[in-house]
Structure formats: structure tokens, C-alpha cells
Structure 1
Amino acid sequence: MTYPTFPLDNRMNPKQPESGGNEFIDVENLLRMALRQTKVVAVSAVIALLLGIVYLQTTPPTYVATSRILVDENLSKVIDEVSPIASSMQTEAAMLSQIEVLRSARLAAVVADKLNLHRNEDFMSPPTSLVQRTIGQVRMSLSYMLSLVRPADPATQARRQEFEELDEATRDALMSSSRRRAAVGRLQANLLAQRVGRSLVIVIGFQSHDPNLAAAITRAYAEAYLGDQLNASFEATEQAAVWLEGRLTELRESSQAAALEVERYRAENGLAETQGQLVSEQQLSELSAQLISAQADAARALARFEQFEVMTSAASSPDISQMVAPVGVEVGPAFGELRTRHQNLSRRKADIEANFGAEHPQAVALGREIAQITRLMVEEIAQITESYRNEYRVALARERTLRQSVADATGRSAQANQSQVRLRELEQQATALRALYQSFLDRYEQTTQQQSFPVAKVRVISEATPPGGASSPRSIMVLGLSLVLGLMMGGALGALNEFNERFFRVGKDVSEGLGFRFLGYLPLLSAHGAKHGKKRGKDGRTYLAGDEPLALAATDHRRRMRVSVDAPLSMFAETFRSAKIACDVVLQANSSKVIGMISVLPGEGKSTVAANLAELLAASGARTLLIDGDLRNPGLTRHLGIQVQTGVIDAVVNPDNWRSAIKYNRQTGLAILPGLVRGRFSHTSEALSSAGMRRLIEDARTSFDYVIVDLPPVGPVVDAKAFSPLVDGFIAVVEWGKTPRAIVHSAIRNEPLIASKVLGVVLNKVRLDKLPRYGSFGGSEQFIKRYSSYYLDDPEQQASSGKAQARAKTETERA
């Protein structure tokens, strides 16, 4: 196994427990839990499979015969066409309606009467399964017990008396009617009817323990359904014909009255039409087109006028020769010639001025000529602008005239339109009535023709035949479901076991849960009958449950107290060496070390651990004193089998003569101060913390290297807390898989006087065969078998060997 290291500065300041709150999901821990509960899950699965097999063996087979029916609306369309609000049979609601018709009591009664099912004992009393019989018996028992408790109902008694007073024929008729109702109910309960996907096919079936009976009932159902649909079609067609005949007379009169009203209204309001359009509407359309054209002409004239008006304002500028007419506007050839002459003269003047100066007579003459041409250009532009102004005024006047005409025509058209709204309403009413009358007339003709041969809208596309095999119970499904349920139940039980897991299993639980060092594992020593109860033998002697004499129990206890010496190469002894190293390293400054052995609950093996540690220390040559400090229950002294007259209490009372109470082990030299209490002694904590005990411990330090004190459990009493000032360190013993973590944490970790001196924790009574299940993957617990090559001694074999038996016998005689 892997043993811890021991730093020198950590004894008085134990580390705080680590918190696993940062981990979201510990997958490794979940996997370990699953592996630990494998047997529980496997057993649950096996039990569930066995129950499934029992169910299969005790349940009679059930057969299902099926038939397929197509709901084909192409066979007949009379009913759908008559209905004002058509409902397609392809819709989900229509198919569900057909399925409800199949499941109806009326159709079931037809089938029951046709096959006389109420007289068929195979149908009325089918075989039942073990589960059904058990449930029936329970119900009958409950009903019987309730009938004994509840008073009889007067109404029920009256009806029973009336039935008994009837004649035999009447009673038979009532019983036959009752059986018929029961047969109808059984038919409805065992009928299967469902739609095939999104198609128009309905599958009907019946389940029974007789395959031939199932096929016969399914065929009867199909025939009854076809007959029901045929009768419904005939009745609907007949009713539709009668209704249509009366409706046609009403529609004929209404259509004629509506047509006469249309013509009368048209004549009264002068709504004459030409080519399908009112005269007022034609005039308004023409005037509107002319107005649009006049508006466009006025807009073009205004644009030209504004452009030339801008040119007129810019005509006095020096660069009038560069003036260009607007695009699409004709300015005439005269203006172009004047502009060309102006440009030529301007170039000549510029050349003369550049060569001869501005005062040259020719330059002056050219300037006068240019001014004359400029004046002519301005006059030409003004004349063109005026002509465009006149054109714009004419277009604007024409637009105003047309606008007034359109307004007048609009008024007349509005009045006509208002009258035409009512006219259209009358025309639509007359048209609708005429179309409705024609439609109903066509339907009436079709209905009268088809009334003599109504056709059902359904047909059988697959006949029912006796099934070749049972439909239930299905072996594979039952066994598979049983296995799944068994695994689920096993998983639930395993999860419950893990939820109840509140104990220390591995060293990581100690270091993380308590913050103390983990010193090692002490395997469980399964003694011969030591953990079993007592019984009385045939010879009158008292025996253990293992068929051994009671006297051997004491010998077994003494063998347990020295396993570390009898099996020095065992894992058991190696853990005590780890504890010794912890004491030597952490308490290396103390020449004599006082070690207190504590536990939380009684029965955790604290006394056994104390004795084995002391034996190991003494066998290694160290002067060791073992004190039984459990004054209330001196189990150490009792298990060692020491018969003494004086003990710890005498040594405390007379500390100067305490050595006379010591007993020695001649083999190892271990000194033992037994615990002996005469009568009931209640002041044990005061005795352990008294001045006499302090003097005894101080005197023992001068004579011994190790003083091992077996103290009472810290859970029920405060003796260990009272003795804590006298010890150098504590070794806590926790029973593997039995002592809850919470009580250890509250009793030791939350006691500063004890927690500050805890050297480490030993897990006792460890089941090595189960230990790897709780260790982490890659942890030392997973390699326990590989460590066995270093543990050459088996503590159980060594304890039960002849040498150990002889040594135990010698010690018994010596004691």
C-alpha cells in the first residue's frame, strides 16, 4: 500500500478538508459507484428476467385477426355534394369519426347478435393469466371483507328480491339481456381500430385466445361496418332528395323576383349603357384625357418661357456671344448669325489690341461694331421670349377651361355611380340566386338518378384470416422489458446504496473529509466464531456459533492483540510501522512519547490497535508502556486476559507505587498497566485529568520511550478530551465502512484540543476484497493484489497456526 509522508511542522496545524465543490460532475466517481453496484444491478436483472419467464409461462396466448378497410370517397359523392359546407374524408377529423363508428356500441351489438356471442362460453369466459387471477382474488377478498363491514344496501336487496319473484322466462330474458350487454362491452374492449399512417385505410382487428374466433369476429365487424355505411348512404340520399325538391321551389321564385328588381331600378335612375359602360363615364374619360394633354402643353410652354426669360436677364453680360439656347428650343437663324459675327469681331479686336494697343483706330471701330451686334442680339432674345410668353398664356387658358369641364362631368358621374352601387348589389343578388338555383337543380337531378343504387364509401381491401401465431405475450419484448426494468430497479437500488454511503472507505476520504493524515489500512481479522453468537451444545457446554467452546473466545481475543508480532511481514504490521514512523517523525523532539488511542464509537477495534502498536514498538526494542485508560469499560485488559488485583485507578490514587501494578509480556518486554475498576466509578474524566495521573505520566516518561494509552471513545464520553493535555499525540481508529463521516467530523475534527494533536487516522476492519471497488483509478487500492508479494505473512494464518496457538495457551496459563 502507499503510506504518507510526515512533515515536521504540520502536527499542531492539521490541514482543512478539501472541498470538491469546484467539480461539476465527477465522472470517475460515478464510474466507481457503478462498478461497486454491479452485483446489485445483476441480481435485480436476473430476478426481473425470472419474473418475466414466470409471466410468459402463466399467461395464455392472445391472437389478433385484422382486416383493412379503405374509406374511398370516389365511390359516392352524393352526401358530400349536398352538404353546404363540404368536409373532406381525408381530414383527420373525418377518419377519427369513422374509427369511433367502428368502436360504437351499436355496431358491437350487431356483431354480437350475428354471432350469438353472448351464448359462446369461449368468448364470455376466456382463460386468464396468473396476474389476472391474483388480482381477481384480491378484489373478491376485498369485496367480501367490505361486505362484512358495510351494511347491506336496501335498494340492492329490494332489486334482488324483485328478481327472485319474477317467473323463470322473465329471469332468463333478463339474464340473456345482461349477457348480451356484457358481450357488447367485451367486444368494445378487445376491438382494435386505427388509421394506417396518413392514408385513408383503417385497420380493424379483434384479440382473442381462440384464433378462429378472432377471425370470425373481425370479418363480422367488417361486414357490419359496410352494411352500416350502405344504410347511412341510402338514408342520406333519400333525405337529400326530399329536401332539394322543396328548396328548388323557393330558389326559383327568389331568382325571378331579383331579376325584375334589377330592370326596374335601372329604368328609374336612367343608368343607360353603351358598349357595357355608362355615357357619363365615357364623357368623363375623354375630358380627363384632354385635360392631361393641356396640362402637359402648358408645362412645356412655361418651361420655355422661363428659360428665355433667364437668357434675357443675362443678355447684357460681356460673354453674350457664348450664350447657348436651351435644348430642344429653336431660336432662329438670325440669332445664330449675329452670334457668329460677334465672335469673329471679338477675335479680330483682341488680335489688334495685342499687336497695336487698344487705342488703335481699327480696334475702336471694331468695338463700335461689336456693340451694335450685341444690341441686335438682345433685341432678338427679347422678341423670342415674348412669343413664348404668349404661347404659355394660351395653353394656360385652355387648361382652365378643360378643368372646369372635368369638374362638371365628375359631378354627374358621381351621382350615377351612387345609383350604380345599388344596381350592382341587385345584379349580384340576382346572379347568385340564379347560380344557386341552377346548382341545386343539377344536384336534384343527380340525386333522383342515384337514389335507386346507393353505394357505400368504404370497401374491404384485406379479409381477416385466422392468425398463424400469437400476438401476445411476445417473448422477446417481455424478456427485454423485464431486463430493462430489472436494470432500472437495480440502478435505483444501487443509487440508494450509494446515497446511504456515509462512511470512510479509502485514505482519500480521511485526508479530504477530515484533513488528517492517513496512516494505513488494518485488514479485518475473521476469527473462528469470535464474531458469532453463542449457543448451547448437546453436551451442556456453551459454544460459539462456529462450533467452538466458549473458552476459545478469550484465546482468540489474545491472538488478535499480538498479530503485529506474530505476522511481522503482513500488511497488518506494516500499518503499525507507518503509525510508528508518524510518531517518531512528528514527535521527534520528545524523548518519550505519550500516544493516545481514540475512536468515536465503541467496537471500532481501538483496544486491538493499541495493543498491536504497543507490541510492535516493544518488539522493536523500544521501552513501551501500554495503559488501559478506558476506566468505564476496560476492554483492553479483558481481551488480554490479564487477572489483576490492582489497576490504573490504584496507580492514580497511589502514584508512588504505580509500578507494582504493571504486568510484563516476557516475549516482547511490553509493560502493561491494566484497567481495573471496583464497582461503578463515575468520575473517570476527573481521574484521567487529576494530578495523580499527571504524576504517573511524568514518571512513565522517565522510564519508557513510548506510552500508549487506550482511551474511551470520544463520542459518548469526555474522558479523552480531559486526558488530552497529558498526551503528545492521538491516533484515531475508524472502522472501515461502519463509522459515519459526520460523527467523526463532529467528534474529533471540531474538538480543537483533540484535533490539534491528531497524528493520523487508521482505518480498521478493512475488507481487502472490497477495497479496490472504492479506490480511484490508478490509486494504491487498485494494486492491493500486486502488493501481496511484499506481505509474506497472512495475519489470519499466523494467528491460527500451531505456534500461535501454543503461545496463546502459554499466555493464558501465565495470566
Structure 2
Amino acid sequence: MHQRSQQLDSHLFRDDEPREERFIDLEVLAAAIWRRAWLIALFAALGVALGVAYLLVTPPVYTAATRILIDENLAKFTQEEPPVSSNMRIDSMMSSEVEILKSAQLARTVVLAEDLHNNEVFLNPPKAPVAWLKSQARAMLSLFGPSKSDRQTEEADIGKATALLQQGVSAERVGRSLVIQVSFRASDPALAGAITRAYADAYLADQLEANFDATQRAMTWLQGRLDELRQSSQTAALEVEQYRAEHGLTASSGELISEQQLSDLNSQLILARAETANARARYEQFKSIIDSGAENAVRSATIPPDQPNSTLINEMKSRYLTISNRLQDVEAQFGEDHPQAVNLRREQGELEQQLFRELEQLTETYRNEYSVALAREESLSGNVGTMSDESSETGKALVKLRELEQRATTLANLYQTYLARYEEASQQRSLPIAKARVISQAEDPVGPSSPSRTVVLALSLVLGLFAGGGTAAFQEFRERFFRTGEDVRDALGLKFLGYLPLLGKTGRAGAKGGRNDKPQNEKTVTVSPNILRVTKDAPGSSFAETMRNTRHSADLLLHGNSSKVIGFVSVLPDEGKTTVATNFACLTAASGAKTLLIDGDLRGRGLSRSLSGTSGGGLVEAIAGDKHWPNYVRIDRATQMAILPASGRHFAHTSELLSGPGMQKLIDEARRMFSYIVIDLPPLGPVIDAKAFEPMADGFVIVTEWGATPRALLRSTLQSERRIAAKAIGVILNKADMKKLARYATPGGAESYVGRYGAYYGDRVE
């Protein structure tokens, strides 16, 4: 017994035990949805109902649309080349056109063109209830304002119509194209189509007027600017000619004669310097070859083909190389002293001397050419210096002349540019071409665009489902009660004994089978037949099966005790522990075991009130020692179960009675007479009577109400009452709704198959 207490205690109070992290179980989620399906369906129906109500009270709106293409190619007749358009420029242009379509000026033009400020359908369309109330409130407030004249009223109507038109019109670019879609929403389809078409016409007319006005203003400004530029250009040209004549700056072919001469000398000097550099390079090259010696000069010299003796020298050099190669072959085969080798060396030396002399002559020729070129260069350089000195004075005057010519040229070019722009603007003014065209004409809509019945109903349904799902999820998160045996094992770590279905109300004494005809002094009572004797009246029911499982668990756990003292407790009042204790005692008594049922709830006395013939005293008098306790025991005629009622007298210190020596003596004597002593104890929460009786009890059966007993409350109570928890035989879930039980079952749990067990229960309990 002590070992079992330690195991239960360690299992129940493992607060720091790590819990397994699991992903969302779809089956568990589906079960939760099924449990709350009625709530989700209720919210979904409410959402659809609200959607239908919205459709009934909201007036329909019709939308007409037209598409306008911004095409700059339409103006190709008025310009030679279209401007190059970048993506950024196109985006800016399209944004500008959209803003023009949304502008108040264009809206006012449409209002006046369609006479919308006098159109009651446009000014006062059907409104939703909220909007109608707002408009009525504004109308009532306007009555207290100052009166307006007819002119002011007309302007106010135009302003109101313009504002309404701007609110209803929509203009947006179609993708990345050059197309703008213009649409308008109205309560009348014909009005929506007419206004949209008027918008397109007004936009095209506005473009033409804007182009004409801009061209007209440009021409007026260009005309005045052209007169100024013409006068300035003529004055600048006259100043150039006067200055040229005063300083003798005669020009030929548009250039001064002194400048032409100096330019020619500079060109000749550049050529002379190039020739001198070329001649010097050839001379220094061949001089370095001659200075290297005869043999090296002959081998490394390269004769240009344009020299007079180049052919002869190259032939001699080729012959020299041939003799040299042959000499190497002869010396390699016959040695240096061979006669043929001696002859070849002699012939080689003669050719080498001839070639060296030719190279010396060629080098001298190059030296003479270099001297002539250098002299010519020095002569030209002197002439250029002289001409530069002579033209210094002319250059000073020429600087001023260039300045005057540049100014005259600039003014002339500017005049020609403005003249071309003036002619271009004059031509464009006469061409009524806009850079836009309508590519999709607006038609009268055949059906309302809003509210869309499908969208509204679908959205209402979805919102209702979301609201219902959220409420259901909130209720699921607030689910803190015992529903299944898995909840008992997870929260408490105690054995789950079974479910007891919800029964009818407790019947009064003698309600079934007639009244007890025996006199009261025969110490017999009648137990209410409905719920206190289910195990006797319906032994084949699921209720009786749970009681048998409870007895079997108690017998296994307390198998060493010849007489078992079992207390029935709950954490809250009205959880049915009295009913469970009475039925457990009926079961053991009906099986032939001697059973004593004690009403230990001295404050509630639920068992004693359900009995008849209990006015002669009970447990309180027996403990007080007024009479020996068997004198207060009553015997149930049907089951021969011994019942010791509480008493007819109230006592304040009930815990002292249950824990005192009188109670201990009663239990010790009862153990020698009965196999089962079942005691109905008060709830654990409000009083300490059960804790006071705990040392005398062998085990406790904990009764909890299905869907009503908070798990946290029972757990904390057992944590504080560790001795009772250690002696706990198990937990019974009482008042279970067997029809709803399957909804709370874990996937694959036994509760999912409760309906299949019905054939094994012979008796049906109502």
C-alpha cells in the first residue's frame, strides 16, 4: 500500500515533466470542427442572412467604361521626327493624362455639357439606409443656414454635380500600355453610359483646345521675339563689316591673306622637320653600322630598295652569305687548312671589303641628304618667325573681329531657329489633331456592377464561417473540463473507471413498488428506484458495467483487505457522488457481499433524504454513543444492503466526528461484520471532512461531472490532498452525454465506438 501511494503521488505531481511537442493533428482538428459544427453553421447562416439583407437594402450601381489610346503617332504630320520616348517619360505622361481625366475642370465641362446639375437622378440617386440618414441630417442642417440667390444656387448645384462626378469617375492606366480606361458608376445604366461617352468627348476636345491655346500663346511670344532678334542680328553684321574695313583685314575665300601665307609656311615647316628627322635617322643608323666594323656591317646592314645600288649590294651580300655557309661546311668536313677552305676565306674577305666600301659610300650619301634637309628646315623656321612678327598686330585686331563675327553668327542662328519654330507653330495651329483616340466606345451597361450577389453572398458566407470558426476555436480553447478518459489520465495520471450516463431526476421514497407496509420499528427502508438502484433494476446496462469495473479495480487494488472501506468523493457539490456510492453499494450487496452504506456527508445528507423511515437517528447519534450503532442501521428490503443514515440532527463540527475515536470504533467493528463499507463523503473543495476521514479509508473513488468539473480545480485539489490522491482507486465521469461523447474522442479512441457496444448492454437506462 505504501509502495502504491508513492507511485501515484510521483505520477500525479510531476509538474516539470517535459511534454512531447506534436504537430497539429488533422483528425483532432476535424473532431473539434465536428463538435462545434452547429455553432459554425449558425454563424454561417447569420452571415448569409446579413448578406441577403445587405443586397435588399443596397441600391444597384451600374458601371460604364471606355478606353482611350494616347498615340503620339497621330501628330506625325505636324513634326518631322517623333520624340524619343523613354519608359520614365511614358510613365510620367500617362500619370499626367490620368490626373487630367480626374480633374475638376474636365468634370465641370461634362456637367455643363450633359446638364447634370439639373438632373435629379444624378444629384439624388437611391442610397443605402446609412447614407440616406446622413443626407437627411445634412438637409435638415442646411435649413438653418442663410438663404442663397438663384445665381448662388445654380453655382452650388454645379459644384455639387462636379464633386459627385469626380467621386463616381475612375481613370486608370491599363497595365503598361498607352491605354487609359475611364469608367463611371451610376444608379441608372443609361446615365452611366452617357456620362462615360461625354467624358471621352470632353477629353479629346480638351486636348485640341489645349494644343490650340498653347500654340496661339507661343506664336504671340515668338512674333515679338523674332522682331528683337532680327534687329539685333542686322546690327551685329554691320559692326563686323565696319571693323574689317577700318583695320584692313582683307580676306580671300573667307580667310585673311596674311593668315593664308603663315599657314602655308607652317605647313612647309612641318614637312621639312619630318624630312630632316627621317634623313637624320637613316644617317645615324648606317653610321652606327659602319662604326661596328666591316664584318658586322656586312652581316647586319639592310639596304632600302629605293637606293640606286641596292640591287648590286644585295646580290653581293647574298653571295657573301652563300660563301660563308659553304666555308662552314668545308671546315666541318675537311678542316680549316684544306685548300678549298683557304680559297673560300680569301674570296669571302674580298667580298667583305667591297660591301663595306659600298656601305661607306651609302652612309656618306645619307649624311649629305641630312645636311640639305636641316638647312631647308632652318630657312623655313626663320621665314615663319618673320611672318609671325609681322602679323602680331593683325592678330590683335583679328581677335576682336572673331568676337564680333561670333556674336553676329549666334544672333543669326538664333533668329533662324525662332523663325522655324514660328512657322511650325503656325502650321500646327491650323491642324486639329489630338494625340488621343477612343478605341473602345462606352455602351450602356446591361447589368449592375455592384453589389455583386455572388460576391456578397460568398463573402458573407466566408465571414460567417470565419466568425463561427473563431468562436468555436475560442470555445475549444476554453474547454477545461473532463470529457474523456484520456483527459483523466493526462491531467491526473489516475486510472479511469468509466462513464456513467446522465440519468433522470431522483424519485422520492416509495415512488415505485408501493409504500413500505411494515412499521418503522422493523428498521427497514425503501431506496428510491430510479437512479439510486440502477445497478439493481438494470444490471445489464452500461451504468452497471461501469460500477462493476469500479468494484473490480477496488478488489484488485485492495486484494489484501478482507473488509474494504471505500469513500466516494467529488471536488464540487452536485456531481452525483451520492448516486454513484449508492449504486456501488447496491451492486456489491446484490452480488451477495455484506455491504454497509454510510451517509458521511453530515452537512448535505443527500443519501439520508432519499430514504424513507430514517427518523430514528443515524451516524451522529451512533458516534455520540447514544445507542450502539447497529441500532441505527436500516436494511434495504430489495438488496439486503445495510444503510447507516446521517442523522436528523445537525452538528457543527462534522470533521471532528468523522476523525474522532467514536468513528474509528464504528469502522473497526463494521470491518468484522461487512465485506464492503461504502461511505458517501462531502466534496473535497468546501469542507475538510473527507480529509479528516482519510486515515480510516482503504481507498477513494473520485466522482467528476462530465463537461462540468474543471480539470485544473481537481488537479490542484488532489495536489493539496496528497493522501487522498495516493489512495485513489480511480476516477468516474458521471452524467456523461453518451450521444455527444464520440465528438470528444481522440482519433481511434474507444469513445468513437460507443454506439457499437449497445448490443452488449441488455438494459436501457432512461
CA RMSD, Structure 1 to Structure 2 (Å): 5.3
Match of 1:591 in 2: 562
SS in 2 for 1:734: strand
Match of 2:606 in 1: 635
Match of 2:637 in 1: 666
Shift of 1:789: 0.7
- Is the aligned partner of 1:647 residue 2:618? yes
Q: Give the letter for the 2:680 counterpart.
A: D
**Superposed counterparts of 1:728-743, under 5 Å:** 728-743=698-713
Q: Give the letter for the 1:651 counterpart.
A: A
Q: Give the letter for the 1:60 counterpart.
A: P
- Is the aligned partner of 1:487 residue 2:457? no
CA gap 1:338/1:444 in 2 versus in 1, 3 angstroms = same
Match of 1:125 in 2: 124
Match of 2:659 in 1: 689
CA gap 1:599/1:64 in 2 versus in 1, 3 angstroms = same
Partners of 1:272 and 1:279 within 8 A in 2: no
SS in 2 for 1:456: coil
Match of 2:96 in 1: 97
Partners of 2:229 and 2:415 within 8 A in 1: yes
CA gap 1:432/1:504 in 2 versus in 1, 3 angstroms = farther
- Is the aligned partner of 1:507 residue 2:506? no
Unmatched runs of 5 consecutive residues or more in structure 1: 1-6, 148-155, 165-169, 308-328, 347-365, 406-421, 531-553, 797-815
Unmatched runs of 5 consecutive residues or more in structure 2: 244-248, 297-317, 375-398, 509-524
- Is the aligned partner of 1:614 residue 2:585? yes
Query: How far apart in 2 are the matches of 1:493 and 1:82?
Result: 68
**Superposed counterparts of 1:42-53, under 5 Å:** 42-53=41-52
Query: How far apart in 2 are the matches of 1:560 and 1:181?
Result: 82
Shift of 1:680: 5.5
Query: How far apart in 2 are the matches of 1:224 and 1:47?
Result: 48
Query: How far apart in 2 are the matches of 1:39 and 1:302?
Result: 120
Match of 2:762 in 1: 792
CA gap 1:612/1:339 in 2 versus in 1, 3 angstroms = same
Match of 1:812 in 2: none
Structure 1 stretch 758-767 or stretch 243-252: which is displaced more?
243-252
CA gap 1:344/1:561 in 2 versus in 1, 3 angstroms = same
Match of 1:182 in 2: 160
Deviations 1:705-738 (A, max 9, x none): 1122212211222222222222122111111111
Query: How far apart in 2 are the matches of 1:642 and 1:198?
Result: 97
Shift of 1:775: 0.7
Query: How far apart in 1 are the matches of 2:189 and 2:167?
Result: 17
**Superposed counterparts of 1:357-372, under 5 Å:** none
Query: How far apart in 2 are the matches of 1:756 and 1:437?
Result: 114
Shift of 1:341: 6.8
Query: How far apart in 2 are the matches of 1:522 and 1:300?
Result: 130
Shift of 1:761: 0.9
Match of 1:151 in 2: none
Deviations 1:575-612 (A, max 9, x none): 11111111011111111111121111111111111111
Shift of 1:483: 1.3
Match of 1:721 in 2: 691
Match of 2:573 in 1: 602
Match of 2:535 in 1: 564
Match of 1:311 in 2: none
Query: How far apart in 2 are the matches of 1:216 and 1:629?
Result: 91
Structure 1 stretch 560-569 or stretch 292-301: which is displaced more?
292-301
Q: Give the letter for the 2:634 counterpart.
A: K
SS in 2 for 1:762: strand
Shift of 1:344: 5.7
CA gap 1:86/1:475 in 2 versus in 1, 3 angstroms = closer
Match of 2:595 in 1: 624
Equivalent in 196, 199, 218 of residue 221 of structure 1: 199
Match of 2:730 in 1: 760
- Is the aligned partner of 1:702 residue 2:672? yes
Query: How far apart in 2 are the matches of 1:292 and 1:752?
Result: 120
Shift of 1:701: 1.6
Query: How far apart in 1 are the matches of 2:289 and 2:626?
Result: 139
**Superposed counterparts of 1:412-451, under 5 Å:** 441-451=419-429
Query: How far apart in 2 are the matches of 1:486 and 1:752?
Result: 48
Partners of 1:652 and 1:693 within 8 A in 2: yes
CA gap 1:495/1:257 in 2 versus in 1, 3 angstroms = farther
Q: Give the letter for the 1:36 counterpart.
A: R
Shift of 1:765: 1.0
Match of 1:770 in 2: 740
Query: How far apart in 1 are the matches of 2:569 and 2:236?
Result: 116
Query: How far apart in 2 are the matches of 1:512 and 1:767?
Result: 21
Query: How far apart in 2 are the matches of 1:604 and 1:296?
Result: 128
> TM-score normalized by structure 1?
0.69
Match of 2:752 in 1: 782
- Is the aligned partner of 1:202 residue 2:189? no
Shift of 1:131: 5.2
Query: How far apart in 1 are the matches of 2:186 and 2:212?
Result: 34
**Alignment: residue pair count:** 668
**Superposed counterparts of 1:279-294, under 5 Å:** none
Shift of 1:515: 0.9
Partners of 1:271 and 1:278 within 8 A in 2: no
Match of 1:808 in 2: none
Shift of 1:759: 1.4
Equivalent in 740, 746, 750 of residue 716 of structure 2: 746
Q: Give the letter for the 2:579 counterpart.
A: T
Q: Give the letter for the 1:48 counterpart.
A: G
Query: How far apart in 2 are the matches of 1:734 and 1:302?
Result: 129
Query: How far apart in 2 are the matches of 1:687 and 1:298?
Result: 146
Query: How far apart in 2 are the matches of 1:756 and 1:613?
Result: 21
> TM-score normalized by structure 2?
0.73
Q: Give the letter for the 1:691 counterpart.
A: P
Match of 1:150 in 2: none
CA gap 1:449/1:724 in 2 versus in 1, 3 angstroms = same
Match of 2:210 in 1: 232
CA gap 1:291/1:220 in 2 versus in 1, 3 angstroms = farther
Deviations 1:376-427 (A, max 9, x none): 9xxx9xx99xx9xx99xx9xxx9xx9xxx9xxxxxxxxxxxxxxxx9xxx99
Structure 1 stretch 586-595 or stretch 107-116: which is displaced more?
107-116
CA gap 1:336/1:208 in 2 versus in 1, 3 angstroms = closer
